[in-house]
Amino acid sequence: KHALNIVKMKKMKREGEPLTMITAYDYPSAKLAEEAGIDVLLVGDSLGNVMLGYDTTIPVTTEDIVYHTRAVARAAQHTFIVADLPFMTYHGSIDETLRTVRRIMQEGHAHAVKMEGGAEIAPTVEAIVRAGVPVLGHIGLTPQSVNQIGGYRIQGKDEADARRLLEDAKELERAGVFGIVLELVTEEVAGAITAEISVPTIGIGAGRKVDGQVLVFHDVLKYASDYREKRFVKTYADIGSQIRTGISDYVSEVKSKAFPEEKHVFAAEDGVLDNLYG
Ligand code: KIV
Ligand code: NA
C-alpha cells in the first residue's frame, strides 16, 4: 500500500470521500492507526497535553516534535504524516522558520507540516511551500494563541468573525496549503469555507459539512486516567480503564505470588529468545 499524497487528497474532496486523520505520537499508536486504515497521521503539538502533561501546547519544542515524529515515521511507513510546527517557531525570520521545517522533515521524517494562523502567516506558508514542503493550515480555535484568545472558545459565531475566517481560508489557499484544519468552528461557517475553497477542510469540532475529520488519539480511545468528556468528541474505546485494570491485576498477582508461573520460568536447557520487549 502506498501512502496517500496531497494530490489524492484534493481528488478525495472533489469525489466527496471523507478524509480520516488521527493524532499519533509514538510507535505503537502509529502502527495501530495505520493497521486500522487511517488516511493521515498528525504528530500534533497536543502531545504536550496528552503525552507530556502540560496544560497547553505552548511548552512543546521542535526537539519534542522531531523526537515523536521519528517514532511515528518508523512505525507508519505507508501513511502520510503531518507534524505541527511548535509555538513561535514560524514567526521570526524565514531562514529560522525554514531551518525548523528542515529538521522536522529530515530528522523527523514528516511528509508535511501544519501551522496555526490565517492571512498573517500566508507569506511564511508561501516560503515553505516554495521550498517543496506541503503545508496544512489550521484556523478557528488555534490553541497556541490560547492566552490571546482567552480560552477555548467556539469560533465563527458572528458575521465579522465568519467573514475573517473565510478570508483567512482563501488567503491560505492562495499561499498554497494542501488543506486546512478547522477547529471549534460553527457548522455553518465550516460548511461555507469548505464550499469556497478547492483544498480539503479537516474539522475538529467543526461539524458535518467539512471534507474530513481529525481527533486526538487519546480522546478517541479514552486514553487518560481522568478523561474529561468533550462535546465534539466521540469515544470509541476505553483504553484508560483497561490499562488501569491490567496493571492493577499485575500488581496483585506479583503481591500474591500468582505471577510468575511455571511457564514463565527458565531452566538450563533454554536458549535464545525471539524478542525481548514489545
Ligand atoms: O495538535 C493537535 O492535535 C491538533 C489537532 C487537534 C488538529 O492540532
Ligand atoms: Na496542534
Give the orientation angle of helix 159-175 with respect to helix 122-130, to 10 degrees: 20
Q: Which three cell numbers stand for residue 179?
A: 488543506
Mean pLDDT of the chain: 97
In a domain, 275, yes or no: no
140 lines ligand 1 (CB under 6 A): no
- Note down the domain range covering 164: 6-238
Looking at residue 2, its pLDDT comes to 67
141 lines ligand 1 (CB under 6 A): no
Indicate the helix (H) or strand (E) that contains 110: none
55: number of CA atoms within 13 Å, CB side? 4
**Catalytic-labelled residue, pool 34, 171, 173, 183:** 183
214 lines ligand 1 (CB under 6 A): yes
In a domain, 262, yes or no: no
For residue 64, the SS3 value is helix
Residue nearest to atom 1 of ligand 1 (CA): 44
Residues 70-74: what's their mean pLDDT? 98
Calpha distance 156→160 (Å, rounded): 8
Over residues 260-278, the pLDDT tens digits come to 999 999 999 999 999 999 8
Domain count of the fold of the chain: 1
**Which ligand neighbours the alpha carbon of 43 most closely?**
1
In a domain, 273, yes or no: no
Residues 24-35: what's their mean pLDDT? 98
Percent of the chain with pLDDT over 90: 97
Over residues 202-223, the pLDDT tens digits come to 999 999 999 999 999 999 999 9
Looking at residue 191, its pLDDT comes to 98
| Residue 70's pLDDT band (cuts 50, 70, 90) | very high
Taking a 5 Å cut-off on Cβ, the residues next to ion ligand 2 are 44-45, 84
Calpha distance 21→216 (Å, rounded): 9
In a domain, 251, yes or no: no
In a domain, 249, yes or no: no
Over residues 51-67, the pLDDT tens digits come to 999 999 999 999 999 99
CATH code of 165's domain:
3.20.20.60
- Cα-to-centroid distance, 44 and ligand 2 (Å): 4
Residue nearest to atom 2 of ligand 1 (CA): 44
- Cα-to-centroid distance, 250 and ligand 2 (Å): 35
In a domain, 233, yes or no: yes
183 annotated active-site = yes
In a domain, 51, yes or no: yes
For residue 180, the SS3 value is strand
Over residues 112-166, the pLDDT tens digits come to 999 999 999 999 999 999 999 999 999 999 999 999 999 999 999 999 999 999 9
Handedness of CA 55, 204, 21, 97 (dihedral sign): negative
Percent of the chain with pLDDT over 70: 99
Specify the ligand 1 atom closest to the Cα of 45. Answer: 1
- pLDDT score of 253 more than 80: yes
In a domain, 255, yes or no: no
- Cα-to-centroid distance, 138 and ligand 1 (Å): 9
- pLDDT score of 1 more than 80: no
